[in-house]
Amino acid sequence: MENLTGALKLAALTFVLGLVMCGLVGAIVIVISKIASGRKGDASR
Amino acid sequence: MNATKLWESLPGFYSFTLMEPGSALIRIFLILLGVFLVYMGYKEKLEPLLMLPIGFTMAVVNGGILVMAGGELGTLFVNPMISEPVKLLDALQINFLQPFYNFTFANGLIACLVFMGIGAITDLDFFIARPFLSLFLALGAELGTILTLPLAVAFGFSLKEAASIAIVGGADGPMVLFTSLILAKHLFVPIAVMAYVYLGICYVVYPYLIKLMIPRKLRAIPMDPMEIPTIPASEKFSFAIIAGVVLSMFFPVAAPLFACFFFGVAVKESNIERFRDFLDNLLSGSTLFLGVTLGALLSVTTVMDPKVFLILILGMIALLLSGVGGLLAGLIAYKVSGGKINPLIGIAAVSCVPTTAKVAQHCAMEEDETILILPHAMGPCVAGVITTAIICGIYVTFVPLF
């Protein structure tokens, strides 16, 4: 029973951490894209 | 020479008489299953890159069981159960796959090599074009990876064993190898073999799941491949370096996996032809030896663990739940986008690059032969690899703390 409670807590933690880490990876992509498009803008000017 | 001596000189057959009847029947079943997998691989009904080496070695290893020096039954392929240094030294000189097992499997090297090769063939264009959609679908497709954990514990497995079984839901072989080697080494053989056999079966099972969950009309929604912009190589290269470093900082225990995958991507996006060619060959070679060794591990003398049957059931549940989660996320994306997104791309988020993306394309083409959703499906497919690596990192980091 104790093990099952631990497993449920770990499953919940995995979901939340997974969500946070996915957000972080997505944010990295967006930041890199913004910097790249900013550079493209500078170059065209 | 009398008849008994003659019979004993045919150890492959004689060893049947030294086994329990149940074990002898399972041995025959494994030989037939191996031949069947080879046939299915040859006909390309199942993934030939895996089924040919696994099936063939599985059939011959079970055919070639003999009485070893100590009197017990064994093979001259590999013995994963040896832990005593002296016996291991003997085995390294006798069993032809023993060096390969001990120096590449037992330390996770093979998982990292395969993952580096996968990185080198992974195209990030589709993922970087729509990162949040891809990651949303990929997180949905981790349903099996997350829910199977408490389910396996309810079936009587320890938390470490349960996490190793649950990661099968991520449908990425290297992650399964890595997690089970770190958390449940004693169950590594059945979990790894089951995972790879199931990954080959995904191609057959998922289309039925799709037909069950996604109405025909939605399967035929077209998605314009020209919508996906071309991403400069420098952007993909930068992402690989930064994501590799950041994720390794968060999960140092899984850093070898992140390092190998993102290094593979960086090599692909750089212009170093020699490295790219080498990684391509490395992936082929690693996959071949991985399949051969996994098949050799499927000897009746090593798979007679009472937990194997439960692992088989839980592994299939994990993959099915991940498929359900991916398709549900695909349906949500379809609703939120106002019907512009074909929900089939949700199944691609289960990962197993590029099998699941091909399944999505194949099922869409069954409804309309002109549809091309493969490029859109590759985004979630790549995101699935990243999310599974993240969950692998969470498991190997946090499970020992619980």
- Contact across the interface for B394 and A3, Cβ inside 8 Å: no
- Contact across the interface for B135 and A22, Cβ inside 8 Å: yes
Show residues of chain B in contact with A29, CB under 8 Å.
127-128, 131, 239
ipTM of the complex: 0.88
List b or e across B156-165, with b for residues whose CB sees 16 or more CB atoms inside 10 angstroms.
ebbbbbbbbb
B247-273 pLDDT, tens digit per residue, is 999 888 888 888 999 999 999 999 788
DSSP bridge pairs for B66: B74
**Which amino acid is located at B314 in the chain?**
L
B36-66 pLDDT, tens digit per residue, is 999 988 988 888 888 899 999 999 999 888 8
B304-317 pLDDT, tens digit per residue, is 677 888 888 898 89
Could you say which of B235, B390, B399 has the minimum Cβ distance to residue A10? B399
B125-140 pLDDT, tens digit per residue, is 888 988 999 999 999 9
Reported pTM: 0.85
Nearest-Cα distance to chain A for B234, in Å, is 9
Neighbours of B226 (CB within 10 A): 7
List b or e across B33-53, with b for residues whose CB sees 16 or more CB atoms inside 10 angstroms.
bbeebbebbeeeebbbbbbbb
Closest residue on chain A to B398 (Cα): A10
Could you say which of B127, B131, B163 has the minimum Cβ distance to residue A30? B131
Could you say which of B232, B246, B387 has the minimum Cβ distance to residue A22? B387
pLDDT number for residue B331: 93
DSSP letter at B208 equals H
The pLDDT confidence band at residue B395, using thresholds 50, 70 and 90, is: very high
B72-115 pLDDT, tens digit per residue, is 888 888 888 787 888 888 888 888 899 988 898 888 888 889 88
pLDDT number for residue B145: 94
Closest residue on chain A to B230 (Cα): A33
Question: Is the per-residue pLDDT at A44 higher than 70?
Answer: no
List b or e across B268-293, with b for residues whose CB sees 16 or more CB atoms inside 10 angstroms.
bbeeeeebbeebeebbeebbebbbbb
B176-215 pLDDT, tens digit per residue, is 888 998 898 888 888 887 887 777 777 788 889 999 999 8
